[in-house]
Structure 1
Amino acid sequence: MRYLIIGAGAVGGTIGGRLYESGHPVVLVARGEHLAALRGEGLRFTTPEGTRLLPVPAVGGPAEVTLTTEDVLVLAVKTQHSQALLDEWSVRPVSGPDGRPAGTAGELLPLVCAQNGVENERLALRRFRRVYAMCVWLPSTHLAPGRVSAAGSPCSGMLHLGCFPSGTDDTAAAIAADLAASHFDAPVTAEVMAWKYAKLLGNLGNALEAVAGPIDGGTRTAVWRRVQEEGRAALAAAGIASVGAEQQRATRGDRITLLPLPGEERGGGSSWQSLARGTGDIEADHLNGEIVLLGRLHGVPTPVNAALQRLANEFARTGRAPGSLPEAELTALLDL
């Protein structure tokens, strides 16, 4: 199978880089300065084993590649960018084994949503017949064009995979086998969305970290607890199952330990990185905003998540520095 990684940032770059190093055909899909750097020098990939330049093929979009029935599409962008890319890729023609058109990508190709949040799969299923959900637990960083780092050891990350909305099949097993041979733990599970909803609860802290800094005690931890309480209440009211914290810890065990990387300084998570890169947008609408949505649908108040959603979007829109929320504004969240 050839893997087309749509969104070669921290997560996509790490998945693509590891698969490429293991001998699998990979194409990275990127844009702007990142694409120019990938084309010019290759992917500068840093892990606990060191830094190397990987000559992974890179393209700017589907018009630059000929799709075949052996391809797997891996969507690894933030949710706010998913719809346009799904529209673009789903209609592309796919060649069969005889070189003749066999159908479109939406009709024929598996699409893996390697993303935070729980909305991507529903968006994808409107365009793609074969959608797979992936719960991504992968500490990685992309702050400079052409550069991606992943500090996890001995595995770079844990990637639970299954069919959407539930179930497993031979394709999921084959993808997982390739990932398992490429420095990942890749359990196949019929209930992958329960893992993604558990990850959603963890990702509710992304906006808090992005606007107020590391959640390392004091007011930040108090706000974090309130955010989690609202999230659990909203999921319970909606009747949505999620994997518990004890099961998550038992499954991950000591498989992923963060190690210092020479010449690399890890900042915050994906939302913090969005602010640090000045992308102009952030994924809070599909993390904290998902809890706000469920709360409004099921009569559960979620004021702290709503406030963090608003603050994160304001920071992204106005270019405010990550972690710069004044303590007084942070404390005020506890009075909501």
Structure 2
Amino acid sequence: MKICIYGAGAIGGYLGVQLARAGADVSLVARGAHLAAMRAHGLKLLIAGEERIVHIPCTDDPAELGEQDYVIICLKAHSITGVIEQMQPLLGPRTRIVTAVNGIPYWYFHRHGNQFEGTALESVDPGGRQWEEIGAARAIGCIVYPATEIEAPGVIRHVYGDKFPLGEPSGERTADVERLAAMFEKAGLKAPVLDRIRDEIWLKLWGNVCFNPISALTHATLDVICTDPATRALSKTMMLEAQSIAESFGIGFRVDAERRIEGARKVGAHKTSMLQDLERGRPMEIDPLVTVVQEMGRLTGIPTPAIDSVLALVAQRAKVAGLY
């Protein structure tokens, strides 16, 4: 099984080590000092008190790798459009694209089955290029739950979690998704195949749409946002707006907003990814986590006043910092 991980950062590197150790034919696309370190010393994963090192092909030129069975995209969602051309040599007639990204993926309305079938979302797929040039029909959904970080170039530290739910947009249990899930399981990862992958996408997005921008604006950690009465109330209002939109598309939530907020509070003094990006001077992942919910609200005619206000503020914060 040939698997290319496109974007071998914290999550991609974690997957790369685990899959390679399980016997998959893995290659990595990366860049900069991280790529140079992996080429020189291999890719090191620090997990459960041990060091795991693999030496596998890694490059910044995907044309060196050839056609793959699976390409697992581990980039920030807003970066994907910029690498469409470079990705083409990896794509054969049966290659599947696994979107291990945060937020709403480019293929969301593929095999969706309502009046929005075939709709490309401008905020995550400008001009519909990912839909057309990577291909919505290639997509397999993947939700990323583990927390990992790049401790140094070529070194990934696993913080917690091992769950990567997978699912076809159609809800079918195809041979492709079953085969991939089996390889993830062999690699020591939990990869349940879901027949309603969009429900799980929204469950994670439900927290991201509020906690991420609020944290970037306030520099507060999750425990503070979820216990301060004002930011907790604002989070819940944004979540309920998002829930109305999601339910109009047939999404079911297995927990209510209060329980979702409590779950975030229990994570403790954790900085969201958007706050980390702001502090580290990296482009902030606003559109696939927040703007897309506003866009989907516009599609359905559901108002999003709280989301609109917070989005306006965090977008301006990012622009002032040169990170939008």
Which TM-score applies when normalising by structure 1? 0.76
For 1:78 and 1:240, how far apart are their aligned partners in 2?
27
Aligned to 1:253: none
Q: Does 1:111 align with 2:114?
A: no
Q: Is the 8 A contact 2:151 2:157 kept in 1?
A: no
Partner residue in 1 for 2:232: 221
1:208 paired residue number: 214
Looking at structure 1, the residues matched to 106 and 79 of structure 2 have their Cα atoms a distance apart, in angstroms, of 10
State how far apart, in whole Å, the 1-side matches of 2:215 and 2:44 are: 27
* Letter paired with 2:64: E
Q: Is the 8 A contact 2:45 2:155 kept in 1?
A: yes
Which of 220, 232, 245 is the aligned partner of 1:234?
Answer: 245
Q: Against the structure 1 CA distance between its residues 53 and 311, is the aligned structure 2 distance closer, same or farther, given a 3 Å change threshold? A: farther
Change beyond 3 A, Cα 1:17–1:59? same
Identity of aligned residues (%): 26
Going from structure 1 to structure 2, the CA distance change for 1:23 and 1:211 (only over 3 Å counts) comes to farther
Larger CA deviation: 195-204 vs 292-301 = 292-301
2:311 and 2:51 map into 1 onto residues whose CA distance is 36
CA distance in 2: counterparts of 1:130 and 1:22, whole angstroms? 24
Q: Which residue does the alignment assign to 1:146?
A: 154
SS of the residue 1:16 aligns to: helix
Aligned residue among 103, 121, 142 for 2:107: 121
Structure 1 residue identity aligned to 2:61: G
Match of 2:203 among 166, 179, 198: 198
Q: 1:74 aligns with which of 72, 75, 81?
A: 72
Please tell me whether the aligned partners of residues 111 and 131 of structure 1 are also in contact (alpha carbons under 8 angstroms): yes
Across the aligned residues of Structure 1 and Structure 2, the Cα RMSD in angstroms comes to 2.8
Given candidates 272, 275, 283, the residue that maps to 2:275 is: 272
Query: Partner residue of 1:167?
Result: 172
Which position in structure 2 is the counterpart of 1:331?
none
Q: What is the letter of the counterpart of residue 16 of structure 1?
A: G
CA distance in structure 1 between the partners assigned to 2:61 and 2:310 by the alignment: 33
What amino acid does structure 1 have at the position aligned with 2:307?
N
Opposite residue 149 of structure 1, the aligned amino acid is: R
Task: Determine the structure 1 residue equivalent to 2:6.
Answer: 6
* Deviations 1:305-331, CA, capped at 9 Å, x for gaps: 23333343344444499xxxxxxxxxx
Measure, in 2, the Cα distance between the counterparts of 1:194 and 1:136.
14
Instruction: Indicate yes or no: 2:275 matched with 1:289.
Output: no
Unaligned runs of 5+ in 1: 95-104, 250-256, 259-265, 322-336
- In structure 1, the partner of 2:143 is 135
Between the aligned partners of 2:231 and 2:78, the Cα distance in structure 1 is 26
Cα shift readout 1:210-268 (whole Å, capped 9, x = no counterpart): 332212211332222222122112223x333134128xx9xxxxxxx99xxxxxxx952
Moved more, 139-148 or 157-166: 139-148
Question: What code does the residue aligned with 1:188 have?
Answer: V
Residue in 1 that maps onto 2:116: none
Provide structure 2 residue ranges, at least 5 long, that are not aligned to the other structure.
109-124, 260-265
Aligned partner of 1:188 in structure 2 is 193
For 1:31 and 1:64, the matched residues in 2 are separated by 14
Paired position in structure 2 for 1:100: none
Helix, strand or coil at the partner of 2:222: coil
SS at match of 1:245: coil
Q: CA deviation at 1:295?
A: 2.1
For 1:80 and 1:149, locate their aligned partners in 2 and report how far apart those are by CA, in whole Å. 24
DSSP-derived class of the 1:109 partner: strand
Q: 1:182 Cα deviation (Å)?
A: 1.4
Counterpart of 1:214, as a letter, is: T
CA shift at 1:53, angstroms? Answer: 3.7
Q: Distance in 1 between matches of 2:272 and 2:42?
A: 24
CA shift for structure 1 position 50: 2.7
- Give me the whole-angstrom Cα distance separating, in 2, the residues matched to 1:233 and 1:131: 26
> Which residue type is aligned with residue 296 of structure 1?
R
The separation in 2 between residues aligned to 1:162 and 1:169, in whole angstroms, is 9
Partners of 1:65 and 1:294 in 2: CA distance: 37
Change (3 A) 1:243 1:125: farther
AA matched with 1:115 = V
Aligned-partner Cα distance in 1 for 2:93–2:152 = 36
Aligned equivalents of 2:298 and 2:23: distance in 1?
A: 48
Q: Which residue of 2 aligns with 1:62?
A: 62
How far residue 294 of structure 1 moved from its aligned partner, in angstroms, is 2.0
Aligned residue-pair number: 287
CA offset digits 1:256-290 (Å, max 9, x no partner): x99xxxxxxx95233233223322x2211111112
